[in-house]
A and B are shown apart, each in its own frame.
Chain A
């Protein structure tokens, strides 16, 4: 039986790119769920003639992690079999969705992470590639003891519905990447990385964002 594939695209003020992203993604998934995280720009208006997607809107801004969690929860309630997380800023290539979901469809993995560092050439800014990302890997290793992923901060991922049910994203902001990683390893899910391409139009997460992630992870650990 064909699996129902949902793609969750969180969006905050990505009115200039979201339409193109949705248009590209629709060829590779069954349902698209855009979660507008209380954008100031009219993200929903830009998508108003796209009669094949669902747009959920947060009435107040909660963060990318929260938006992904909302979309994932919606997908679970709608009977999704595979859930893809995809950025709305045009950083990823939609045609690589089939590469990311393939191991799940074949029963080889429960969760698949796209990696910007495997094989494919990604245009990652020097400072991000050589300073921020190595530091992120160190933090992931220190906090979670995970050191065998090449791209722990990748936002391009797919997971089976069973995995999505157990990995409950609680980090609202940018620490959700690390949280998903940690819960995937802790839950002993079958994890796989596949090469994906990243196209940078802007810098992405800054150094100060990394410090915020550390703070969020510490608070999260204390609460739990």
Chain B
């Protein structure tokens, strides 16, 4: 019981901070919505942990509800990490495209007329 209350207090702190960040315009509406849903689901999991234990046992898992949630959390984290890596790679390619265009537009041309032309 104590652990559940403590966990809910921590979640409440994070949710409050979330709204503070939205107020300061550090995050957008979609970001707020995403994390709000996440924390609400986390809070529900904590409140109904005993029911989750029963559900998990009925599905044939040997672990407790909290352990299954933990493993699920790790899988989800790895999935997000994978998605972020792909996104990062895409951003790297976009940066290269921008750098390319800048270099071609700003090229210094050395020609036979002598001297160095100013950048175009």
Contacts and interface: CB of A to CB of B under 8 A. Distances in A.
Interface of A: 35, 44, 47-48, 50-60, 62-63, 66, 69-70, 73-74, 77, 170, 172, 219-220, 222-223
Contacts of B108: 44, 54-55, 57
Interface in B82-98: 85-86, 89-90, 92-93, 95-96
Contacts, number: 70
Interface stretch (B1-9, B25-33, B68-76, B109-117): B109-117
A50 B106 contact: no
Given A47-B110, A56-B104, 4 more contacts: A51-B115, A57-B108, A62-B99, A223-B93
A50 B115 CA distance: 9
Contact of A74 (B89, B104, B110): B104
A35 B103 contact: yes
Contacts of B59: none
Interface residues of B, number: 24
Chain B contact residues, majority secondary structure: helix
B17 interface: no
A55 B104 CA distance: 9
A170 B104 contact: no
A170 B110 contact: no
